[in-house]
Amino acid sequence: MTGISLSALSPVSPPHADAPDDWVDRLLLAGPGDEECLRFGTPVERDALRALVAEQVERLAAAGLAPGGTAALRLPPSLGFIAALLACWQLRAHVALLDHRLTEHEIGLAVGRLAPQVLVGSEHRTSAALRGFSEVEPVAVRRPDGRPAATGHALVQLSSGSTGPAKVIARTAGDLVRELACYRRLAEFPGEGERVVLLSSVVHVLGLVGGLLNSLHARAPLTVPERMTAAGILAAVDAERERPVTVIGVPFHAELLAGVVSPPPLPRLRRMVVAGELLRPGLPAAFTAAYGVPLGSMYGMTELGVIATDPSGRLHPAKQPVDGMELRVVDGELQLRTAASPYPGLDDPTRWSDGWLHTRDAAVLDPDTGLVTVLGRRDSQVSIGGLKVDLTEVEQTLAALPGIREAVVVFDEGAIEAYLAAEDGTERALVQDLLARQLAAYKRPRRLAFLPQLPRTATGKLLRDPAALRAAAR
């Protein structure tokens, strides 16, 4: 869909038309003024957040943003990001989120594709890669070639890009409200009287809705660690002395914490919940052994948000679909009922057709319990000499071997390749010998590449582009 602009589409209902006029104030900003709602190093009370949002409303309006207008945010995790986002929505504008870690070239391509009227950034780029949050002052710049919204969406996000070019995905305000209601019906998800420590990016769906928006809505104060290291994360959890704590992140964060030698006691830690990738075999048990609490998981998509959950870890690897989510499996692919395509400007029946979103994930639905087990990407199933090989099986077999921290398996130019992050001293010959005992010869990778660490996308997902992996291996 390169070159398609959202503003080139035929106008429909204005942004936010399917949600109450006051949905931001009523669902996200309401509550006692002296109640803590966020913690970026120091606590932030709701009155202070409301004042910051009001200030950004004035600045954005002065830059020309009006109801039905378009804005793009390029800000790191910060109070400034939250205030600017909520201010855009209070103005009933159509907002695109751009990851602050993208290069200037990538930002230029995205802005050209989205054509926002106002671009919100900061004067200074953050330099510390492991910083959890920044202190920035949003700067709104009017773009003379920007165009007003031509769809009824309130939010535009770009997919993670772990398997190819990022997709433009749009959601309405009503759909965000629906997802917040889904989270509130999850008895084991953080609610009032609890705290969330958020590790996931706030420009992607889990961190944005499951983390930030749900915490504001549920009145469960949200903390972002000062540093995204194991020590920084544990310090953020340990700082809470009163409320039960849930940590939300991606499997990479769980791996990081599970690898801590002699972790400290964390009496307020309730559980960790991750999403974004399949869990490595053995990771839930390793995490629980280290901290004495479950490692739960969720399945979702940028297109719809949360789809199925297992916060307690009791169902692993299966998950319970959220209320109201209609699922089916066709030819091994998981499909989801949606009223409209989440891809504005893209007419691709292999992604959405006849009211069904094609996830491109392989899955199994249990007809008796309704539980869904996601098996991995459908494109992970390849043919070797006429024999079917599931790359996910190969990857998980490798990841479970002694000394292997992480594994990515890809199929390129007719061959299976494996890229491994291994502990120091792990011998290639031993890995090959163990693999030969567990996998048939036609399933084994033709190439094993050992790297100090595997490359990841900006959201922490393992990169699966063969060219990029080969470049990293070189």
Sheet holding 305-310, edge to edge: 42-45, 36-40, 222-223, 195-198, 245-249, 269-274, 295-301, 305-310, 320-321
pLDDT score recorded for residue 164: 47
Amino acid 105: pLDDT: 82
Each residue of 433-472: b (16+ CB within 10 Å) or e? ebbeeebeeebbbeebbeeeebbbbbbbbbbbbeeebeeb
d(CA 233, CA 240) in angstroms, rounded, equals 12
Q: Which residue has the tokens 């199925």?
A: 308
The domain boundary residue, chosen from 137, 171, 205: 171
Query: Which residue has 């792990």 as its token pair?
Result: 426
Domain of residue 461, residue span:
385-473
Residue 474 makes CB contacts below 8 A (sequence gap 6+) with none
Instruction: Please list, in sequence order, all residues whose beta carbon lies within 8 angstroms of the beta carbon of residue 422, skipping any fewer than 6 positions away.
Output: 403, 404, 405, 431, 450
Separation between Cα atoms, residue 19 and residue 17, nearest integer Å? 6
pLDDT at 12: 55
* Sequence-ordered list of residues with C-beta below 8 angstroms from that of 56, at least 6 positions apart, any chain: 83, 84, 86, 87, 138
CATH number of the domain within which 94 lies: 3.40.50.980
**Could you tell me if 37 and 221 are in contact, meaning their C-beta atoms sit under 8 angstroms apart?**
yes
8 A C-beta contact, residue 371 and residue 315: yes
- Domain membership flag for residue 378: no
Average confidence score pLDDT of the chain:
90
Whether the predicted pLDDT of 162 surpasses 60: no
Q: Residues 114-135: pLDDT tens digits?
A: 999 999 999 876 556 678 999 9
Q: Which of 83-87, 162-166, 302-306 has the lowest mean pLDDT?
A: 162-166
| Average pLDDT of span 135-148 | 95
Check residue 89 and report its DSSP letter: H
Tell me how far apart the alpha carbons of residues 178 and 173 are, in angstroms, rounded to a whole number: 9
The total of structural domains in the chain comes to 2
What confidence score (pLDDT) does residue 167 get? 76
Label residue 4 by pLDDT band (50, 70, 90): very low
Q: Which of 222, 220, 233 is nearest to 190 (CA)?
A: 220
Distance of CA 9 to the CA centre of its chain: 27
Q: Looking at residues 429-446, what average pLDDT do you find?
A: 90
Q: How many helices (H) and strands (E) does the chain have?
A: 13, 25
Sequence letter at residue 396: Q
Residue 57 lies in a domain: yes
Q: Is the pLDDT of residue 49 over 60?
A: yes
Looking at residue 126, what is its pLDDT? 59
382 neighbors 416 (Cβ within 8 angstroms): yes
Task: Give helix 79-90 / helix 46-62 axis angle, nearest 10°.
Answer: 60
Given a cut of 50, whether residue 1 has pLDDT beyond it is no
Q: Is the pLDDT of residue 17 over 70?
A: yes
Write the pLDDT tens digit of every residue in 286-343: 999 999 999 999 999 999 999 999 999 999 999 999 999 999 999 999 999 998 999 9
Please say if the pLDDT value at position 5 is more than 60: no
Lowest mean pLDDT among 1-10, 238-247, 326-335, 454-463: 1-10
How far apart are the C-alpha atoms of 345 and 5, rounded to whole Å?
8
Distance CA 308, CA 297 (A): 9
SS3 (DSSP) at 319: strand
Say if 352 falls within a structural domain: no
Determine the Cα–Cα distance for residues 135 and 144; give it in Å rounded to an integer: 28
User: Looking at residue 101, what is its pLDDT?
Assistant: 78
CA pair distance 254, 244, nearest whole angstrom: 18
Residue 159, phi then psi, degrees to nearest 5: -65, 165
> Is residue 167 domain-resident?
yes
The residues near 347 (Cβ < 8 Å, ≥ 6 apart) are none
**Average pLDDT rounded to a whole number, residues 250-269:** 94
Residue 371: inside a domain, yes or no? no
What is the pairing mode between strands 356-365 and 333-337? antiparallel
Rg (CA), the chain: 22
Other C-beta atoms closer than 10 Å to the C-beta of 349 total 10
Q: What is the pLDDT of residue 7?
A: 41
Q: Where are the beta strands (DSSP E) in 235-294?
A: 245-249, 269-274
Select from 139, 171, 203 the last residue of a domain. Answer: 171
Give domain status of residue 286, yes or no: no
Q: Which amino acid is at 380?
A: S
Mean pLDDT within 194-205: 94
Looking at the domain assignment, is residue 358 inside a domain? Answer: no
Q: Is the pLDDT of residue 275 over 50?
A: yes
Question: Final residue of a domain: which of 138, 171, 204?
Answer: 171
Name the most confidently modeled range: 65-69, 109-113, 167-171, 390-394.
65-69
* d(C-alpha 54, C-alpha 131), whole Å: 27
Per residue in 205-234, pLDDT (tens digit) is: 999 999 999 999 999 999 999 999 999 999
More confident residue, 13 or 253: 253
CATH assignment at residue 467: 3.30.300.30
What is the C-alpha separation between 32 and 60, in angstroms, rounded?
A: 26
Q: What is the pTM of this model?
A: 0.84
- Residue 318's pLDDT is 96
Q: How many CA atoms lie within 13 A of 18 on its CB side?
A: 15
Detail the DSSP E strand segments found in 378-460: 381-384, 387-390, 404-412, 415-422, 447-451
The answer to the question of residue 459 being in a domain is yes
With a cut of 90, say whether residue 9 has pLDDT above it.
Answer: no
